[in-house]
Amino acid sequence: MNEETINVEVAYALPKEQKIIALKVEQGTTAYEAVKLSGIERMYPQINIETDAMGIFGKAIKDPKTTVLKEKQRVEIYRPLIADPKEARAKRAAKLKAQQAAQQ
C-alpha cells in the first residue's frame, strides 16, 4: 500500500440487504468525500449525502465533511428512523404484556 493512500469502506444497510464498498483513498479524505467517491448514492437513490446522518463503526459523526478518515475505518450511512425507538419499545412491551395476560 502506498503511504499516501489508505483503505476504507462505505456501508449502507437496508432491512434485507447491505452494501459495503471498499475504497483506496488519499490520506486526508473525509467521510463525506469517501461516500461521494464510492458512488453508493447512484446504487441507492434514496441516499442523500447532504442530509443523511453518517457514522464510523456505529458511532455518529457530527460533520462528515470535516471528519478525516483513518486506515480501515468504515463510514456508515444511516437511514432515517421510521418510528420513535421509545414508542416502538413501548408497543412491543404492551403487546408482550397482553400476550402473557391472555395465556393466564
Q: CA 29, CA 69: separation in Å to the nearest integer? A: 6
Q: Compute the distance between CA of residue 29 and CA of residue 95 in angstroms, rounded to an integer.
A: 47
Beta strands in 1-104 (DSSP E): 5-14, 17-26, 54-56, 59-61, 74-77
Q: How many domains does the chain have?
A: 1
Please, what is the average pLDDT of the chain?
Answer: 91
Q: Give the domain extent around 72.
A: 5-103
Q: What is the CATH number of the domain that holds 32?
A: 3.10.20.30
Would you call 73 exposed, middle or buried from its count of C-beta atoms within 10 A (0-12, 13-18, 19+)? middle
* pLDDT value of residue 7: 98
Average pLDDT, stretch 43-51? 94
* Nearest to 44, CA basis, from 73, 79, 9, 69: 79
pTM: 0.75
